[in-house]
Structure 1
Amino acid sequence: MSEKDFLIRTATPDDAAALAAIYRPYVEGTAITFEYEAPTEEEFKSRIAHTLERYPYLVAQEKDDPARLLGYAYAGVYHGRAAYSWSVETSIYVAQTERGRGLGKALHHELEKELKAMGIQNMYACITALPEDRADDPYLTDASIRFHEKLGYELCARFRKCGYKFSKWYDVVWMEHMLGKHPTPAPELSWME
């Protein structure tokens, strides 16, 4: 699949069922997310609407079949304190049947472009990682860490065995990607509308 085969657009709450279907296998069969139960379509609608009040929420759709969604990416609050307003946490999920085709990279590129235009300075990714004493796991690989490294993210923190899923402990790593030059005074932010 090339970028010509899909389009990236802003999500709407009407995309909830398709996005929930993309996310469900990650919840039920991987340690990539620490949710134990997949959110319902209604919960997903609420999450999309809440995110769009302030940040971008993007979907990739099949060019020839706009109803077929292939993946999504969004930004959210990094921390609730005002001084963190120039930083966001990002998430990207691609349908498992569509991985390895450049969708994640394209979604990230568009997300980064929109965040830069808003005045955001830092992007953070919270990623599940194998503990250093476990080399193999049926629920997790290091693909997300490698993906973010290719996008220019750098490891900035590791929290050891802080998440428990599938009767196993997992680490979490935080990776950061600097978007801006951090001018003083800080740039005025423009929120999504």
Structure 2
Amino acid sequence: MTPIAFRIAHSSDAAEILQIYAHYVEQTAITLDTVVPSIADFQTKITTTLERYPFIVAVQANKIVGYAYASAFNYRNAYDWSAELSIYLLPTMRKQGLGSRFYSLLEDIAKAQNITNLNACITYPRTKDDPHVTLASVNFHEKRGFNLCGHFHKCAYKFDRWYDMVWMEKQILPHSDSPAPIKPFNQIAKQFFS
């Protein structure tokens, strides 16, 4: 099997990344976007995210096979020590350990940034036989040490059905009475990427 390498995303990756995301928009309720964003929107998302957080791609045989990024849990400054994680893989790359590799890397980066809490916002199916989403993401996060901390009922509507949303969280650093300031990703990126 061809090895997988991780690197920082570039705005020029937007079209290839968007091909991965489009599947999730059009075929699943994993994301609750209902319209595939434009390439320009994704270029902006990449560059804006990288101003503060990591946006990482996994590359195999010169092809992007997945991407993951961190983002603000909330825009207010008091929430700076919490970040939300997102990950999307080519469907053929699921259940091969790539998600865990991404999350291990993102957790290490978050620790280097002095982030204490990681959060995940996850679509939760209302029936066991939902054709658009399963409990796979909830189970994945539980295995990674995340705990369920919020459940919102029938708060999203896609594919002519209502979906619940859950929040999961993981503490990755101790909570100090005087937390160290958050380091923007560009200040610590060289620790992880040459």
What is the TM-score with the length of structure 1 in the denominator?
Answer: 0.94
C-alpha offsets along residues 90-119 of structure 1, whole Å, 9 cap, x if unaligned?
Answer: 101111111111111111111111110000
Q: Give, in whole Å, the separation in 2 of the partners of 1:39 and 1:103.
A: 24
- Which residue type is aligned with residue 54 of structure 2? P
Q: Residue 27 of structure 1 aligns to a residue in which SS?
A: helix
Q: Within 2, Cα distance between the matches of 1:135 and 1:102?
A: 24
Alignment partner, residue 74 of structure 1: 69
Task: State the superposition RMSD in angstroms.
Answer: 1.0
Q: C-alpha distance in 1, partners of 2:49/2:138?
A: 24
For residues 1-193 of structure 1, the aligned pairs below 5 Å read 5-62=3-60, 65-66=61-62, 68-131=63-126, 134-193=127-186
CA distance in 2, matches of 1:46, 1:189: 22
Cα distance, 1:135 vs. partner? 2.4
Quote the Cα distance in structure 1 between the aligned partners of 2:107 and 2:22.
25
Distance 1:108 1:135 in 2: 26
Q: How many residues align?
A: 186
- Distance (Å, rounded) in 2 between the aligned partners of 1:99 and 1:125: 18
Distance (whole Å) between structure 1 residues aligned to residue 38 and residue 19 of structure 2: 9
Q: Which residue of 1 aligns with 2:189?
A: none
Shift in Å, 1:187: 1.4
Per-residue deviation, residues 99-156 of structure 1 (Å, max 9, x unmatched): 111111111111111110000000000000012xx22211111111111111111100
Amino acid at match of 2:134: T
Q: Secondary structure at the match of 2:122?
A: strand
* 1:192 CA drift (Å): 2.1
Q: Which amino acid aligns with 2:50?
A: L
Ranges in structure 2 where 5+ consecutive residues have no aligned partner: 187-194
Between the two proteins, what is the percent identity of the paired residues?
Answer: 44
